[in-house]
Amino acid sequence: MPSSGTNRRLATILFADIDGYSRLMRADEERTLDDLHAHLTELVGPVVERFHGRIVKTVGDGVLVEFASAVEAVRSAVELQRGMVERNVGTPVERRQAFRIGLHLGDIIVSDDDVFGDTVNLAARLQGLAEAGSIVLSASVYEQVRDKLALPFRSQGSRTLKNIDRPIRTYALDAASLSETAATAAKPAPSRRRMMTLAAVAVATALAAGGAAAYFTGLLSSTEEAAAASVRQSTDSGLSVAVLVFANQSGDAAQDYFSDGLTEDITRALGRFKELTVIAYGAVLPFRNKELPPAEIGRALNARYLVSGSVRRMGNRVRVTVQLGDAANGTQLWSEQYDDELSDIFAVQERIARRVAGTLASNLQQIALQKSLRKPTDNLDAYDLVLRARALAADPTRLANRSARELLERVIQLAPGYADAYAQLADAYFQRAAFGWSEFAQSDIETAIRLAQKAIELDEECVLAHGVLARAYTSILKYDIGLAESERALQINPSDSEALLTRAAVLLWTGRIDESIAAAEAAMRLNVNIGSEASLNLGLAYLLSHRDADAVRLLEAARARYPTHPLLDFPLAAAYAELGRTDDALDAVRQGKRKNPHFDLASFGSRFQDPALQRRVEESLRKAGLN
């Protein structure tokens, strides 16, 4: 390749070819070529130009296109597929041509108007995965467009592609769904959250134009009124929250970009928690620097809770202070301060946003649970029943587990399309097997997998369902699937402490002990009460990394919080033994046997992929006096 005229740039590559082209050529070469040239000239060329792309080259029946924007690339792909459907109307079936399209975003090498590199190769490989009339895109493209285009993306999981040294997570737009979806608008019937966003934008626009009074005196179009009504309905659960623009206290107006960006990032990260209704960032902008009572802001935004905060830069460090308040009565419910170094300003912004969002979500969900438990049991909807079941499932006893499953079965009867209910029920079945409360553990794990898969059918981005699959598959020694599912859960919501704990569990059993500890400790920074199963896993990880004092500290606290847990005493006994605390070790073993008289030393830790790790735990337990 000549070096002159060579440069690199980031681009989205679209690769398309005709499905079954060889068969079409064998049937009628001239007609097939004529049809292809007509498609390229009359459809592909104009569509690519309209969406600001560049046709790099055509090779046989394939066309390679470069786009600066991932959004424009996907819009172009959708328009091409829809256009081909229209062009095939009235064409004999044996002559119909259909594109298969692959899209990938990455770094490319440009030389003499041609493009080269892994990005080009990947786009071609993804095209090979596509069916006739469909589009397959990589995760790098999906992450750019998922919040900008309301298209029916379907996750295909991670795929291994020829001559590509790592699995690639892929998403598909199927031919059937594309035929019903507009290419540029791509708007299905609005979801509750989408309607909430529409209403929030209407609020922001009205406030900016004529003040809050004009907005709330009925000066809304019928569309805006419907959106506002949807907001009122969507906030009935009480978990509606607005993140007010953080105050820049650095004394330098030029630093507003950081506080503004942090506010937007926290809003976006909170929006990934499906239990929360998060008011759009644009709706809160009119309240910047306004000294208004919380109740007034809450009423204007239809938000029950308000997040506020400040940012102060001090040399090469930044301090972020965050408060969560109840808008109705002005009560401060929670506050926290974060300090970080400014080695990479945008990395700091993302890191703090994730921590704030995760901690806020944990607090808001706990508030929701407390409210639910105060309601009379004969006046509960499906969401409140799920909250109660979640609280029961956190109690590691056979009776509580059975009660949780009964409640969740009731929820599924009430709301058969409620993904979280299936996911929670899957989790309860997995716990039943994991804690030894079932005579048919394998059957319960299979039930957990089936229910979690049902939850994902209803909601592909159900974090808990992916987490249950990760733990369940790992428990039956399908480690690769477990790792992939735990990674998917974190991709959906990096701020979710439960997703981090799931990742920690899978990393523990696959022998990546230090990474497991890091993930679990990150989860604890978001929610200090990590639960009994996660405490057991982290205690084992500390034990295996010879952090015996940390194991004792953690497991003693967990045992005090969950005194009936059937397994916590055993790793605690092992840690005591490693520290030479023989009497404490013997006492922990006695307590463990009393709670779990059928404890089997040979099978404890059998989930470890590396048998040597199981033997290390067994040796520590024998040292504690367990035989």
Q: Bigger pLDDT: 351 or 424? A: 424
Return all residues near 301 (Cβ < 8 A) that are at least 6 apart: 200, 203, 242, 279, 283, 284, 287
Do 196-371 and 525-627 fold alike per CATH? no
Task: Please report which confidence band the pLDDT of residue 348 belongs to, taking 50, 70 and 90 as the band edges.
Answer: low
Please state which of the ranges 69-78, 167-176, 336-345 shows the lowest mean pLDDT.
336-345
Which pLDDT score, from 0 to 100, does residue 6 have? 63
Which pLDDT score, from 0 to 100, does residue 511 have? 94
Percent pLDDT > 90 in the chain is: 31
Q: Report whether pLDDT(379) > 70.
A: no
Return all residues near 456 (Cβ < 8 A) that are at least 6 apart: 419, 462, 465, 466, 469
Which pLDDT score, from 0 to 100, does residue 198 have? 33
Backbone dihedral region for residue 314 (phi beyond 0: left; psi -120 to 50: alpha; all else: beta): beta
Which pLDDT score, from 0 to 100, does residue 441 have? 86
Average pLDDT, integer, range 310-320:
81
Q: Report whether pLDDT(220) > 90.
A: no
Task: Please report which confidence band the pLDDT of residue 564 belongs to, taking 50, 70 and 90 as the band edges.
Answer: confident
Q: Report whether pLDDT(343) > 90.
A: no
**Count of residues making up the chain:** 627
- Using DSSP, state whether 472 is helix, strand or coil: helix
Q: Which secondary structure element, helix H or strand E, spans residue 31, and what is its range? A: helix 29-39
Please state which of the ranges 66-80, 337-351, 387-401 shows the lowest mean pLDDT.
337-351
Return all residues near 412 (Cβ < 8 A) that are at least 6 apart: 418, 421, 422, 425
Please state which of the ranges 87-96, 100-109, 134-143, 221-230 shows the lowest mean pLDDT.
221-230
Q: Report whether pLDDT(623) > 90.
A: yes
Please state which of the ranges 223-232, 463-472, 543-552, 596-605 shows the lowest mean pLDDT.
223-232
User: 580-586 contacts: CB < 8 A, separation 24 or more?
Assistant: 582/625, 585/623, 585/624, 585/625, 586/624, 586/625
- Quick: pLDDT tens for 279-301: 877 778 888 878 888 888 888 88
Q: Bigger pLDDT: 510 or 330? A: 510
Strand pairing class (135-138; 168-173): antiparallel
Which pLDDT score, from 0 to 100, does residue 369 have? 59
Identify the CATH number of the domain defined by range 196-371.
3.40.50.10610
Which pLDDT score, from 0 to 100, does residue 347 have? 66
Architecture (CATH level 2) of domain 525-627? Alpha Horseshoe (1.25)
Tell me which range, 167-171, 199-203, 447-451, is most confidently predicted by mean pLDDT. Answer: 447-451
Task: Please report which confidence band the pLDDT of residue 104 belongs to, taking 50, 70 and 90 as the band edges.
Answer: very high
What's the whole-number average pLDDT of the chain? 80
Pick the CATH number of 375-493 from 2.60.40.150, 1.25.40.10, 1.25.10.10, 1.10.230.10: 1.25.40.10
Q: Report whether pLDDT(188) > 60.
A: no
Average pLDDT, integer, range 423-447:
90
- Quick: pLDDT tens for 351-372: 777 777 777 776 676 666 565 5
Q: Report whether pLDDT(601) > 80.
A: yes
Q: Report whether pLDDT(101) > 80.
A: yes
Looking at domain 6-178, its CATH superfamily turns out to be Nucleotide cyclase, GGDEF domain (3.30.70.1230)
Q: Bigger pLDDT: 46 or 339? A: 46
Which pLDDT score, from 0 to 100, does residue 430 have? 93
Average pLDDT, integer, range 58-73:
88
Residue ranges per structural domain of the chain: 6-178, 196-371, 375-493, 525-627
Please state which of the ranges 43-52, 169-178, 220-229 shows the lowest mean pLDDT.
220-229
Looking at the DSSP bridge assignments, the partners of residue 138 are 170
What angle is formed at CA 502 by the lines to CA 498 and CA 506, rounded to 5 degrees? 170
Q: Bigger pLDDT: 39 or 343? A: 39
Strand pairing class (53-59; 62-67): antiparallel
